[in-house]
Structure 1
Amino acid sequence: MLELLPREASEPAEGQGEDALPGLRLSPSRLRLPVALLLSAASGLLLSLSLPPAGLWPIAFVAPIPFLWVLRGAGPGRGAAAGLAFGLAYFGALLYWILLFGELAWVSLVLASSAFAAVFGAAAPVLWRRDHPVRSTAGLAAAWTVLEWVRGAFPLGGFAWGQLGVAQVDSPMLPLASVTGVWGLSFAVLTCAGLLLHALERWGRGARRAAAGAIAVSVGLVLAPALIPVPLPDGAAIDVASIQVDVERVEHLGGAAEDVAVAALNVDRHLRLLPDPPDLVVWGEGALDPGALADPATVAAVREAIAEVGSPTLAGAVTTEADGTQRTETLAFGPDGAVADRYAKVRLVPFGEYVPWRGFLERFIEAVEQIPVDRTPGERVRTVALPGLPEVGTPICYENSFPSIDREMVRRGAGFLVLTINNASYERTAASEQHLQMSRLRAVENGRWVVHAAISGISALIDPEGAVVDSRGLFEPAVMRGEVRASTRTTAYTRFGDWVPGGSLLLVLGLFALPRGRARPRREPPPLGERPRTLVLLPTYDERHTIGTVLDGLLALPDRVDVLVVDDGSPDGTGAIVAERAAADPRVRLVERERKSGLASAYGLGFRTAIDEGYDLVVEMDSDLSHDPAELPSLLAAARAHDVVLGSRYVPGGSVTNWSRPRLALSRGGNRYARLCLGFELRDATGGYRVYRREALAAILHPPLRSEGYGFQIELAHRAWNAGLAIAEVPITFREREHGRSKISRRIVVEALWLVTVWGLRARLRPRRG
C-alpha cells in the first residue's frame, strides 16, 4: 500500500508550494497561528459528528484533513498547539455529557485527553517525509494509533473513550476489527484521511492519475474489510432475558431507600418471567447497590424471586465486606437463588469509584467528598460459571471501553459476553449510544454475542458481526428477551491481541529513523572559466619529512594551482621549510600560527582567504602524502560539472593502503552511520581530499561551522548535500602516512559520532518547511 500510487512525486510542481491546497498558492507554514488553530479546532469539531449523537461515520474520513494539512507546515511546537486545539474541540464536543458532573470534571477530562492529540501534533511534523508522502501518511496513522493505545492505559489506567475506530460500527470496515481490534480501524481511518489530503494536493497540481490512485486506495481500505469473515458461533442457543427498569421513578428517594426501590423494580420485572423462564436473566449494573444488600428483607426478596423463576441470574452489585471493603461486582445467582460465582471489576473509574491522591485533593476540592468510599478492584480478569450454561464473560460498564478485558475473558473460555451497565447518571445524553457502539465493536473483535444490559437503557442484543438484533430505549421499563449462541471459536484479534499498536510503534520508530531527502533540489552549477584560479590548502603540524614532496607534486601539475600552508607552530621546523619555498616561488604562501589550533580553524582561515581573494576553486588536502598530488587533476576535472568534489576511498576504483582491519572497519562504519543519520548518499564523508567551488563554499560556511576533525569534514558534506549542491565522488587511493603520527584520536572519533547523532536528531526534530 505504501508505494502503489501512480506517479507519486516528492516535489511539487514548479512554482507551487509543496503543501498547496487545490487551486491555492497557500502553504500551511504561512498560516497565522490563530488561523491554524481555528482550522484544527474545526477539524476536531467536525470529527465529533462521526460518533453519537450525530453518528455520521463517513465524516471520520474527511474531518481530520484540515488538521493534517495544518501539521504539514508546522514545527513540533506549532503542531502541539494545533493538536491541542483539535483535541479540545473533539473531546470537548464528544464528552459534553461529563458536564452533568460539573465544569471541573469536564475540563479536566477534556484536557487530559487532548494532551495526547497535542503529542500527536508535535510528533507529526517530525515523522513527515516530503519525499515519501504516502509512507508518511501511514506513519502518521501509526502514531495516532499508538497514542490511542497509550491513552487507554495511562494515566490512572487510561481513558479509551473517543477512539476513531469506534465510529465505524456501521461501515463496511467493521469486520477488520476481528483481525486488528479497534486499533486497525483507527489506523485505517486516519490513513484514509491522509490519502484523501494527498489526493487533493495532487489534483490541485494537475496530477489527476496520482490523485485517483490515492482515492482508490482509500475506498479500498473502507470496502475491502467487508470480505473478512467473522467466525460464527458453534455453540448451543441460550435464551436470555435482560431486565431494564425506570430508575427515574425512584431517584428522588436517594441513599439506601433508592437502592431498595431499584432492587424492588428488578424483582418485579423478574417475577414476570414465571410463565416462561429463560435460560439466563440479567439485571444491569446498580441493580443491587449497598443500601439494598444491607437490607435483609430486600436480599431475601431477591433470592426468593430468582429461586421462584428458577433461572440463573447475573446481577450488577456493589458489595461491602465486614471490614468495609467495597467492590463493584457481577453476582452470579444459581437457579436456587444462592450466589454461585462472582466477578469483581478490575478497572475502576477514577473519580467515580475511587479518588486518586485523596489525601491531597480533598484539601482543595470539596467535590471529593461525594465519593466517600474508595472501592477495591478485583484481582484479575476471569470468567463466571453458572449451572447448565457455558462460561460467560461479564465486563462491567466502564471496563467495556478497554478491548483487552473482553478479549482476556474470551481467551479464558467465555462463550459469550454479558455487559452490565449503569448509565442512568448520564440521563438522556449520547453517552449511552456511544457506549453501545463500543459493545458492538467488542462483539466483532472476539466473534461473540454480547448482551448489553443497562439498568436504565440502552439495552441491546448484539451478534458477532456487530449488528444490534434487539434493543430497548433509555429509561424504558422492559424485559428484552432473545436468543444468543455461545462459541468456542476465536478471532485473530482474540489470539494475537494488540499487535497493531506494537506494529505501529515499530513503524513510527522506523519512519523517525528514516533519513530525510534533500532540503533543496539538486541544481546544475554554472560553467567554470577555461583556467579557473585554484588554491590548495595544506594545514601542517610536524610534517617536515613530507611537506617538500607534497609541494613539489602540486607545483608540477599541469593545472596551475596556488598553495597556502597554514602551520600551527610545528616544533620540527615545518614552517621554516615552507617559508624557504615561499621565498623562491610566489605560488606558495605560508601562514604561521603560534600554537596548535586544530584542523577546522586552519581550514577556516584558508577558506576565508580563498573567498576574499576570488579563487574559483578551493582544495582541501593532507600534507603527509596520504593524498597523492598526482590525483588532484581528476578532482579538478570533476569540479567543472559539480559544486563539490570528494576524493572517495569507498566508491569503485577507490582504495586504502596500509590500514589495519579495525581502522578500516571503523572508517567504513562511521561513514555508514553518517549516511543513516544524515540521509545523504555519500560513500566517503570523512575524507579530507576535496575541491569546492567558491560560491558553494561560501554557502556552506554560513552559519559558521563549529566541529573539528572527522566531524568537520562530515558537517561540510552534510551542509553541501542539504544545500542542493551538485556533489561528485571521485575514486582516490588513500595511503597511510609513513612519517610522524596520525592526528586522529579517540576523542575526535567520539566527538564526530556524537555530532552526527545530534545533527541527525536535530534534522528529524526540526522538520523543514515547505
Structure 2
Amino acid sequence: MPEVSSRQADPEPAQGQGPHVLPGLRLRKNRAGLPAALVLAVTSGLLLAASNPPLDIGPLAFVALIPLLATLRSVAARRGTAAGFVFGLVFYGVVLYWLIPFGVIAWAPLVVSQAAYAALFGWLVPVLWVDARPVRSAAAVAALWTSIDWIRGDWPLGGFTWGAIGNTQHGNGFLLPLASVTGVWGVTFVVVLVNALLLSAGRRVGERGRSLALAGGAAALVMVPALIPLPATVGPRLDVAVVQGSVDKRQAAGFYLRSRQVAENHIRLHRSLAQDPPDLAVWPENSLDVDPTADPGLAAEVTGVVRAVGVPTLAGAVTDAPGDRFLNQVLYYSGQGRILDRYSKIHPVPFGEYVPLRPILGWVEQLRYVPRDIAPGHQFHLFDVRGVRVATPICFENAFPDLFRRFVADGANLMIVATNDSSYADSAASREHVTMSQMRAVETGRWVVQAAISGESAIVDPRGRVLRSTDLFVPTILRFDVPTSSARTLYVRLGDWFPWACGFAVAIGLAAWARRRRGSGARTPPAGEREGAVPAQQAPLPISGGGEPQVLVILPTYNERETIGRVLAGVVAVGPEVGALVVDDDSPDGTGEVVAVMAEHEPRVHLVRRSGKLGLASAYRLGFAKAIEQGVDVVVEMDADLSHRPEDLPRLLRAVAEHDVVIGSRYVPGGQVSNWSRARVALSRAGNGYARLALGLPLADATSGFRAYRRPVLEKLLAEHISSDGYAFQIELAYRAWKAGFDVAEVPITFREREHGRSKLSRRIVAEALVNVARWGLRDRLRRRSGPRVPSAPSP
C-alpha cells in the first residue's frame, strides 16, 4: 500500500489513469540511495569544475548542477547535506588545485570550508523544492545559491569568492550585461535557475507543452539580458604600458622575493619605453620586491629610470610598517621620479599576507612562508593621472564585487589591477583571476587593465571582452590606448541589492516552511511538558526603592562629535534621575574629548574609553554590566547620532513603569521615519517581517535600537552568552526577553536619518542577522516550542 505523507505531491499517474484520481492521497517521493546521491554530487562537481579554467567550458555551467539538484529534490535534509558537502569537496578541490604545491595544509582546509557552504545548500534545497511548483522552486533554489555565495564572499576572514558560478559566464555576451544591474550575483542566479528549470523540463517530457515552456523560459533568461544597454566610455584616453618584468619560475614559489631580481627585471624593461613614452607606465604588484623607501640604492635606480622615461609610473611595492609588519602598496611616481602618492591594500589574503590566530597556529610548518603580517589599508584611494582618476585594487581585491565597485562609486574613471600570480606557475589561477576582472569590468562599466608580474596581463573592455593579453613568464610590455569613463552602472549606484533581495526571499520561504511544519505537526503537549515552553505572561517586575527610578542611558559612540553634545544635553534634561554612560571606541574625530569635558561639569555624564573600534554590541554589553553594577533601575539603549530623539525618551520611561521591556518603534501607529527613501523603509520593514515570520516574534520593530529595560531583565539576559552584533543583537535580546516571559511593549517614536557620520550597516551585519534569525527560528520550531503571545500595549 502506498505510504501517505504530508509532504509535497510528486505522483506520476499510472497508465490509463488521469491525474488526481485520489486527490487526498500523496505518494512519498522515491528517495535516492546514499551511494547514488553521492555519485550524482561528484558528477555535478566535476561538470562545474570543467566550466571553469583551464577547460573553461562556460555553457556547461547551465547543466552542471542538474545531477545534484535531481538528488537534492528527493532526499531528506541530512542526506542532502552529505551530497552538498561531497559536491563542494569535488568542485572546490578541483578548481583550487593550484594550491596543492603549497602543501595539503594550504589546500584542504580552504576546500573543506567552502564545501561547508555547499553542504548548507544541500540541507536547505529539500525544504524549498516543491515539485508541483517548478518555477517557484527553481527561483527559490537559485535565490538560495546566490545568498549562500554572497555570504561565502564575506565570511569568515573577509570571505572567499573563487569558484563563483557567475564567473563561468565571463565570455557569454548575451548574459553578461546583466552584471551591470545586479553584479555577478544576478548572473549566478540565472545560471542556477536555468539548471533547475531544465531539470523540471526533463522530468515533464510527457507533458510536452509544459516541458517546452520551462525549457523556453530557461533559454529566454540567458538571451534577454543582451538587450540591457551598457554605458558608453566617452572620457579621455590614456596610453597605458604594463611592464611585465616576469621572474624565473624556479624562484616564483617564494611568496615575496627579496633578491631585488624582480625589481631589476622591471627597471630594465621600463627603460625601453624611453624611445616612445606612454601616458602611464604600470609595474605590477610586488615588482619592487625590496622597500624602495628603506633601500637608498634601489630608490636611486627606480628614480633614475622613471626620470629617464619621464612619465607617471604606478609601481607595486612591499614596504615596511611599524611593529614588524609590512604594507602591500602601489606607489605613484611622478615623471621626475618622486613618490607623489600611494595606495595600501585594504583586503589582505588570510594565510597569504597575514596569519589569523598566529599564536595558536604557529606550529604549522608552512606558515614560515608568511613570516610577518600585513598592515591593511583603510582608504579607497585614487590617483590623478593627467586628469583621469585611476584606482589600483591589488591582486585578491578584484575578487570582491562590492570592494571593486566602491572605487568607481568614489569616482574612478579607470581600473588597474596590480597582481602577482607568479607563485601559481603555469596553473589556471592566472586565467581565473582575469575572468574576475572581466566580470568587474561589466559590473562597473570601466575598462580594466590587469598588470601581472609574470602574466596573464590583460586589457578588458566594459563588455567583459579581453582585447589583448600576455603569455605566462614572458618579459614583455602590454600597451594599449585605454578609454576612460565617468558613467555609473546601476550596480555601481545600488551595490549588492540583488543578493540582499535573494536573502530576504529565502528567509521568508524558510519561515513559511517552518510555520507550515509546526501547523501540520503532531499533538502539542501541555505547557508543562514542552521543552523550552514560553511561560504565561507575568506581571511587570517591581522597580526597587521608593521615589523616582534611577535611569542610565547607554550611548555607544564612534565619530559622533557633531551630535554627542546635543544628545547628552537632551538626555540629562529629561530629569534629575536620568544619567548617561558614553562608551567611546577611540573616535578619531575627538568624540571622547567632547564627552570628557561635559563630564567634568555634569556628574550624571560618564565616559568609558575603549582602544579601537570594537563594535556596537560589545559597547552595550559593557554598558549593561556597569549599569547592573551601579544598581540602576532602568537601562536605556540609544544612538548618539540624533536618529533617536531625546524628546522621545520620556515616553519610553513612562511605559517602562508598566512593562519589563519597552521598544521605541517606527512601525506601530504613531511611529514615523523621516529622511529615508522608500527603498530603505521597505528594506527595514522586510527585515522586521522576516524576524516575525521566522521567530513568531510579535513585534513591529524588533531591530530598533531605542529601548528601555528594567534591570532584572538584563540580569536574566546577560546570564547567558550573547554573541550577536548589529541588528541580530537587537533581535536576539527582544526574542530572548519575550521567550523568557517578560512583558515586552512597543511605543511610537520618530526616527530620523543621521545628519553626520556614516551608517554602520554592512553586509556582514545583514548576513549575520539573516543566518542567526533563521537558525534560532528553525531550532525552536523543530523543538515544537509554543506559538507567539500577543505583546502588551502600553497604557495611554
What TM bracket, shorter-length normalisation? 0.5 to 0.7
SS in structure 2 of the partner of residue 31 of structure 1: coil
The partner residue of 1:190 within 189, 192, 200 is 192
> What pairs up with 1:445-464 in 2 under 5 angstroms?
445-464=443-462
**Contact 2:434–2:456 (CA<8 Å) still a contact in 1?**
yes
Deviation (angstroms), 1:324: 3.5
SS in structure 2 of the partner of residue 243 of structure 1: strand
**Contact 1:28–1:72 (CA<8 Å) still a contact in 2?**
no
Distance change (3 Å), C-alpha of 1:292 and 1:200: same
Deviation (angstroms), 1:323: 5.1
**Contact 1:447–1:464 (CA<8 Å) still a contact in 2?**
yes
**Amino acid of the structure 2 residue aligned with 1:46:** L
Which residue is equivalent to 1:35? Answer: 36
Which residue is equivalent to 1:475? Answer: 473
Deviation (angstroms), 1:395: 0.4
Per-residue Cα deviation, 1:489-538 (whole angstroms, up to 9, x for no partner)? 0000000000111000111022223459999xxxxxxxxxxxxxxxxxxx
> What pairs up with 1:647-666 in 2 under 5 angstroms?
none
Which residue is equivalent to 1:45? Answer: 46
**Amino acid of the structure 1 residue aligned with 2:127:** V
Distance change (3 Å), C-alpha of 1:379 and 1:479: same
Q: How many residues align?
A: 522
> What pairs up with 1:638-677 in 2 under 5 angstroms?
none
Distance change (3 Å), C-alpha of 1:201 and 1:516: farther
Per-residue Cα deviation, 1:249-289 (whole angstroms, up to 9, x for no partner)? 68289799854111111011111111111011001111012
Deviation (angstroms), 1:758: 8.7
Which residue is equivalent to 2:175? Answer: 173
What is the distance in 1 between the residues matched to 2:389 and 2:477? Answer: 23
What is the distance in 1 between the residues matched to 2:277 and 2:159? Answer: 40
Distance change (3 Å), C-alpha of 1:516 and 1:216: farther
What is the distance in 1 between the residues matched to 2:179 and 2:403? Answer: 15
Which residue is equivalent to 1:329? Answer: 329
What is the distance in 1 between the residues matched to 2:467 and 2:257? Answer: 35
Deviation (angstroms), 1:14: 1.4
**Contact 1:27–1:73 (CA<8 Å) still a contact in 2?**
no
What is the distance in 2 between the residues matched to 1:489 and 1:317? Answer: 31
**Amino acid of the structure 1 residue aligned with 2:466:** V
Per-residue Cα deviation, 1:612-656 (whole angstroms, up to 9, x for no partner)? xxxxxxxxxxxxxxxxxxxxxxxxxxxxxxxxxxxxxxxxxxxxx
Alignment pair present for 1:213 and 2:217:
no
SS in structure 2 of the partner of residue 247 of structure 1: coil
Per-residue Cα deviation, 1:5-28 (whole angstroms, up to 9, x for no partner)? xxxx9654314999xxxxxxx997
Distance change (3 Å), C-alpha of 1:178 and 1:259: farther
> What pairs up with 1:748-759 in 2 under 5 angstroms?
none
**Amino acid of the structure 1 residue aligned with 2:189:** F
SS in structure 2 of the partner of residue 433 of structure 1: helix
**Amino acid of the structure 2 residue aligned with 1:82:** A
What is the distance in 1 between the residues matched to 2:465 and 2:784? Answer: 45
Which residue is equivalent to 1:312? Answer: 312
Which residue is equivalent to 1:505? Answer: 503
Deviation (angstroms), 1:304: 1.1
Which residue is equivalent to 1:144? Answer: 145
What is the distance in 2 between the residues matched to 1:250 and 1:45? Answer: 31
Tell which structure's C-alpha radius of gyration is larger: 1
What is the distance in 2 between the residues matched to 1:456 and 1:344? Answer: 22
Alignment pair present for 1:79 and 2:86:
no
**Contact 2:508–2:694 (CA<8 Å) still a contact in 1?**
no
Unaligned runs of 5+ in 2: 1-7, 20-26, 518-525, 530-692, 696-740, 742-776, 786-796
Unaligned runs of 5+ in 1: 1-8, 19-25, 520-596, 601-675, 679-746, 748-756, 766-770
**Contact 2:236–2:484 (CA<8 Å) still a contact in 1?**
yes
Deviation (angstroms), 1:332: 1.0
**Contact 2:333–2:339 (CA<8 Å) still a contact in 1?**
yes
**Amino acid of the structure 2 residue aligned with 1:127:** L
SS in structure 1 of the partner of residue 121 of structure 2: helix
**Amino acid of the structure 2 residue aligned with 1:110:** V
> What pairs up with 1:37-436 in 2 under 5 angstroms?
37-171=38-172, 172-203=174-205, 206-248=206-248, 251=251, 258-290=258-290, 294-321=294-321, 324-362=324-362, 364-386=363-385, 388-436=386-434
What is the distance in 2 between the residues matched to 1:425 and 1:46? Answer: 27
**Contact 1:131–1:516 (CA<8 Å) still a contact in 2?**
no
**Amino acid of the structure 2 residue aligned with 1:482:** F
**Amino acid of the structure 2 residue aligned with 1:200:** G
Distance change (3 Å), C-alpha of 1:342 and 1:54: same
CA RMSD of the aligned region, Å? Answer: 3.3
Deviates most, 456-465 or 226-235:
226-235
Length-normalised TM-score, structure 1: 0.64
Distance change (3 Å), C-alpha of 1:27 and 1:426: farther
Distance change (3 Å), C-alpha of 1:275 and 1:518: closer
The partner residue of 1:496 within 494, 497, 500 is 494
**Contact 1:199–1:211 (CA<8 Å) still a contact in 2?**
yes
Length-normalised TM-score, structure 2: 0.62
Distance change (3 Å), C-alpha of 1:12 and 1:239: same
Per-residue Cα deviation, 1:543-577 (whole angstroms, up to 9, x for no partner)? xxxxxxxxxxxxxxxxxxxxxxxxxxxxxxxxxxx
Deviation (angstroms), 1:292: 5.9
Deviation (angstroms), 1:293: 5.5
Identity %: 43
**Contact 1:383–1:392 (CA<8 Å) still a contact in 2?**
yes
What is the distance in 2 between the residues matched to 1:267 and 1:337? Answer: 13
What is the distance in 1 between the residues matched to 2:91 and 2:124? Answer: 19
Deviates most, 433-442 or 320-329:
320-329
Deviation (angstroms), 1:99: 0.3
What is the distance in 1 between the residues matched to 2:53 and 2:145? Answer: 21
Per-residue Cα deviation, 1:366-421 (whole angstroms, up to 9, x for no partner)? 222221111110013232233x2311111000011001111000000100100001
**Amino acid of the structure 2 residue aligned with 1:473:** D
**Contact 2:96–2:107 (CA<8 Å) still a contact in 1?**
yes
Distance change (3 Å), C-alpha of 1:760 and 1:191: farther
Deviation (angstroms), 1:230: 1.2
What is the distance in 2 between the residues matched to 1:235 and 1:421? Answer: 26
**Contact 2:514–2:781 (CA<8 Å) still a contact in 1?**
no
**Amino acid of the structure 2 residue aligned with 1:328:** N
What is the distance in 2 between the residues matched to 1:406 and 1:495? Answer: 13
Pick 1 or 2: higher relative contact order, CA cutoff 8 A, min separation 6: 1
**Amino acid of the structure 2 residue aligned with 1:55:** D
**Contact 2:249–2:425 (CA<8 Å) still a contact in 1?**
no
Which residue is equivalent to 1:486? Answer: 484
What is the distance in 1 between the residues matched to 2:216 and 2:297? Answer: 66
**Contact 1:138–1:191 (CA<8 Å) still a contact in 2?**
yes
What is the distance in 1 between the residues matched to 2:428 and 2:233? Answer: 31
SS in structure 2 of the partner of residue 282 of structure 1: strand
**Amino acid of the structure 2 residue aligned with 1:195:** L
What is the distance in 2 between the residues matched to 1:28 and 1:490? Answer: 49
SS in structure 2 of the partner of residue 367 of structure 1: helix
Distance change (3 Å), C-alpha of 1:255 and 1:70: closer
**Contact 1:173–1:224 (CA<8 Å) still a contact in 2?**
yes
Distance change (3 Å), C-alpha of 1:198 and 1:763: farther
Deviation (angstroms), 1:474: 0.5
> What pairs up with 1:727-766 in 2 under 5 angstroms?
761-762=781-782
